[in-house]
Structure 1
Amino acid sequence: MTDDAVIASLAKAVEAQPDDVPLRLHLAQLLVNAGRTDEAVTQIAAALQREPDNASARRLMTSALTPADPLAAYEEELSDIVPPRFTVPADERPEPVAGEDDRIFDVERPKVKLADVGGMVDVKKRLDLAFLAPLRNPELRGLYGKSLRGGLLLYGPPGCGKTFLARAVAGELEAKFLSVSLADVLDMWVGGTERNLHELFLTARRNAPCVVFLDEVDALALKRSKTTSTGMRTAINQLLAELDGMEGDNDGIFVLAATNAPWDVDPALQRPGRLDRTMLVLPPDAPARASILQYHLRERPIARIDLDALVAATEHWSGADLEHLCESAAEYAMHDSITSGTVRMMEQKDFTKALGELRPSTGPWLETARNVAMFANGDGQYDDLAAYLRRRKLL
């Protein structure tokens, strides 16, 4: 007798004896085995109506409602040959962490120093005035009543070293470093983003002196007049409260924030005691470009490179652009070596080819900045930007 015939016979028997729960469950099991899940669920539900506490009926209902894994049987059969899916061997599982080490933010100790940062003389002076000198001179700091709290907003074209500068500040102080972006704190659940921001500053306070770096801060603290999201508004409010130290003492915490679009940052973020200083990080000047090019060529085979000509040809180029220039020149030299079968040095002609194809990435930013300096600088906030654009005859 076929399975269908057995099921049909049992169905008639159940119809004749509807209160026979074991018989109904036996029919349901055969229906599950045959893949007729909907019919099985109907039979199990009828059994549970008569015996709500029947453990066998509950287990069978769970089994019927759980999607079958077509690979499970093969896994069991081949378990001696093929390891199970989605498992980690016991000797490869990470050790559990607890206490203050069990946190969502990584605390670093950068090795780079300000001496490793090419150019940026004005920015380094501002950092020394606001944070570095007071930290190195605790007695004078006490005499003048200078606190170690504060913040600095770095803005400028992308690729000009804002993130690298923040790491260098922490390295210079031998302080801890926390780098945070929107993705690190944004949470889909209500209140989650605020909790993450609070945890960020708790971690910084535990590790003071500490440099907290808020990357692309305009994404985290967009002008509240520009956002219709209640969640983002409350996140900005939480960030402001943390910067004010309402949730704890911020002494020894220096906040560095970076943005390409300071005109999109909520103005409340730049009030005294928060990110109360703003510094323009410009494309590297001639000495800085020479330093950056030398750095990226230091381990490459070069010969007859006219560094002065490269510096003159790369005005308005960012540090990232200069790195790309060196990479492209290396590609030309390597391709020539592969084609000819003879390895040669990188030469000026490789850079000339690269310069003919590449363009500085700062162009779109400078165009936007020009409009801001011309039409949105009523309070003088962007005077340094306007002065730079005038020197470069862009304004």
Structure 2
Amino acid sequence: MADRADRGALDALREAVRVSPDNLPLRRHLAEQLLDAGLLLDAENEFREALALAPGEAELATSLAEVFLRQGKHGAALAALARVGPGEGPAKAGLIVAKALVAEGDVAAARPRYWEAVARDAALADAEFEVRLGHSPVSEPALAHALADVAPPVDGPSEAVDEPKAGVTFADVAGMEQVKQSLRMKLLLPVQQPEMFAAYGKRAGGGVLLYGPPGCGKTHLARAAAGELGAAFMSVGLSDILDMYIGSSERNLHATFEAARRNRPCVLFFDEVDALAARRADMNRAHNRQIVNQFLAEMDGVESDANEGVLILAATNAPWYVDSAFRRPGRFDQLVFVPPPDMAARAAILALLCREVPLDELDFRAVSEATDGFAGADLKGVVDRAVEAKLQEAIRAGRPLPLSTADLMGAVRSARPTAVAEWMGTARNYVMHANESGVWDDLLPWLGGKRR
């Protein structure tokens, strides 16, 4: 923070700017001094005013982005530099973009921006940040050679082993405390406290099946679990496994598990798993049944400790179509219902979505009350719509304008929830007519019923 002498100099600069508000060099100097003094909010305001005097100036945009980055407003930092492409503007712009992208979880996009910035200005090299990028600070070729050792076979699936999403943990998942606790006990704590679990004969590994309506955060939860643990993360889609040639899908599935085993601890995430693990009784082709058999064999492991340290997560909107054999102990023996957000969770989600947007005093509770039945994806659509409308106003005004409760409520009035109600209708049929074993009891409170 600034000492007394510094504050006196800053006050003098402020007075000079007040007297001459259109003096761009003077306002730029004040903004830079505020930034150096760590007065980030004041610096942000001055850089915004300077940009209003010189719209599109790359150096000012870079300085404003740096202020945002230091405040943790990573999305705002990226927005400030949206018009500064690779090789344009100050080299430092590329470094700021890279750091913001890593904080947002997009490590792959961050790498080329960082190395381009360092190539332009070697003084920007940051060995600690290079570790977060997953790169040796020695050289890019050396890293490429090292990564080749953990890559899947050429004829295997195309998915890559990703670093854990930087900055994405359970703190970034609003609500769902019971779901998070279930994942901690099943997936995280056995890795974090192996001695305690070993005393009870439990090892790290196993699987959890996340199910619930579309758009309620199942994939986000999986990434947050990997980030919470600091584990590698592999996201597997249908296109990574399924192949038209007989036997190829099974080989792809085996290669996927082998890649996860080489990179343990690893969170191996299967999205839309019902398509890979469907009930064999419903299949009319032996080839499809063989894929399910291969999946079951990989989850069991040829050796007793084959999957130790491989944490298998899967997500589905249709758990009732998953073969019951997957629910045996050691496989997906824990089903975790990821519910649509309740009112408190909706308010928390809205606050998270708006944390990097200029805000007025917002009543998130009022907005959450007006969005009953909205999934997390629906709420993101509401915020995106409100931000787009406010951005148009800001462009006309020539300066950033804060988002208000009225802006969000206006977006809510033009939005409709997508699939929660329809999904709950389908779930009600299974709870009412196919729940003899009690497997769907977690749904009862959401459908107006009671637990047994």
1:348 to 388, 405, 409: 405
The match for 1:259 is 316
The question of 1:119 aligning with 2:175 is answered yes
- Distance (Å, rounded) in 1 between the aligned partners of 2:399 and 2:148: 57
1:297-316 residue pairs with structure 2 within 5 A? 297-316=354-373
| Pair 290,194 (structure 1): closer, same or farther in 2 beyond 3 Å | same
- Long gaps (5+) in structure 1: 1-93
Q: Following TM superposition, by how much is the alpha carbon of 1:333 offset from its aligned partner in structure 2, in angstroms? A: 2.4
Q: Following TM superposition, by how much is the alpha carbon of 1:138 offset from its aligned partner in structure 2, in angstroms? A: 2.1
The match for 2:78 is none
- Distance (Å, rounded) in 1 between the aligned partners of 2:331 and 2:423: 26
Q: Following TM superposition, by how much is the alpha carbon of 1:287 offset from its aligned partner in structure 2, in angstroms? A: 2.8
The question of 1:105 aligning with 2:168 is answered no
- Distance (Å, rounded) in 1 between the aligned partners of 2:152 and 2:321: 34
The match for 1:42 is none
| Pair 209,304 (structure 1): closer, same or farther in 2 beyond 3 Å | closer
1:180 to 221, 236, 240: 236
- Distance (Å, rounded) in 2 between the aligned partners of 1:279 and 1:158: 14
Q: Following TM superposition, by how much is the alpha carbon of 1:345 offset from its aligned partner in structure 2, in angstroms? A: 3.3
1:87-106 residue pairs with structure 2 within 5 A? 98-101=148-151, 103=153, 104-106=158-160
- Distance (Å, rounded) in 2 between the aligned partners of 1:302 and 1:249: 50
| Pair 343,242 (structure 1): closer, same or farther in 2 beyond 3 Å | closer
- The alignment-based identity, stated in percent, is 47
The match for 1:360 is 417
The match for 1:383 is 441
The question of 1:156 aligning with 2:206 is answered no
1:367 corresponds to which letter in structure 2?
A: G
- Distance (Å, rounded) in 2 between the aligned partners of 1:263 and 1:116: 29
Q: Following TM superposition, by how much is the alpha carbon of 1:337 offset from its aligned partner in structure 2, in angstroms? A: 4.8
Q: Following TM superposition, by how much is the alpha carbon of 1:105 offset from its aligned partner in structure 2, in angstroms? A: 2.8
2:416 corresponds to which letter in structure 1?
A: R
Q: Following TM superposition, by how much is the alpha carbon of 1:325 offset from its aligned partner in structure 2, in angstroms? A: 0.5
User: After the TM superposition, which of the residue ranges 201-210 and 256-265 deviates more from structure 2?
Assistant: 201-210
| Pair 229,280 (structure 1): closer, same or farther in 2 beyond 3 Å | same
| Pair 353,238 (structure 1): closer, same or farther in 2 beyond 3 Å | same
| Pair 243,333 (structure 1): closer, same or farther in 2 beyond 3 Å | same
Q: TM-score, normalised by structure 1?
A: 0.71
* Cα contact 2:152–2:255 (8 A) shared by 1: no
Q: Give the 3-state SS of the residue equivalent to 2:448 in structure 1.
A: helix
2:387 corresponds to which letter in structure 1?
A: A
Q: How many residue pairs were aligned? A: 299
| Pair 115,350 (structure 1): closer, same or farther in 2 beyond 3 Å | closer
| Pair 115,304 (structure 1): closer, same or farther in 2 beyond 3 Å | closer
| Pair 199,102 (structure 1): closer, same or farther in 2 beyond 3 Å | closer
The match for 1:320 is 377
Q: Give the 3-state SS of the residue equivalent to 1:213 in structure 2.
A: strand
State the Cα RMSD in Å.
Answer: 2.3
- Distance (Å, rounded) in 1 between the aligned partners of 2:285 and 2:395: 55
Q: TM-score, normalised by structure 2?
A: 0.62
The match for 2:291 is 235
2:150 corresponds to which letter in structure 1?
A: E
Higher relative contact order (CA 8 A, sep 6+): 1
User: After the TM superposition, which of the residue ranges 143-152 and 124-133 deviates more from structure 2?
Assistant: 124-133
1:271-286 residue pairs with structure 2 within 5 A? 271-286=328-343
- Distance (Å, rounded) in 2 between the aligned partners of 1:150 and 1:102: 22
Give the structure with higher Rg (CA): 1
Q: Give the 3-state SS of the residue equivalent to 1:328 in structure 2.
A: helix
User: After the TM superposition, which of the residue ranges 284-293 and 114-123 deviates more from structure 2?
Assistant: 284-293
- Long gaps (5+) in structure 2: 1-140
Q: Give the 3-state SS of the residue equivalent to 1:208 in structure 2.
A: coil
1:389 corresponds to which letter in structure 2?
A: L
Q: Deviations over 1:95-152 (max 9, x none)?
A: 8885433543311121221222111111111122223222222222221111212111
Q: Following TM superposition, by how much is the alpha carbon of 1:228 offset from its aligned partner in structure 2, in angstroms? A: 1.7
- Distance (Å, rounded) in 1 between the aligned partners of 2:260 and 2:427: 33
- Distance (Å, rounded) in 2 between the aligned partners of 1:222 and 1:141: 32
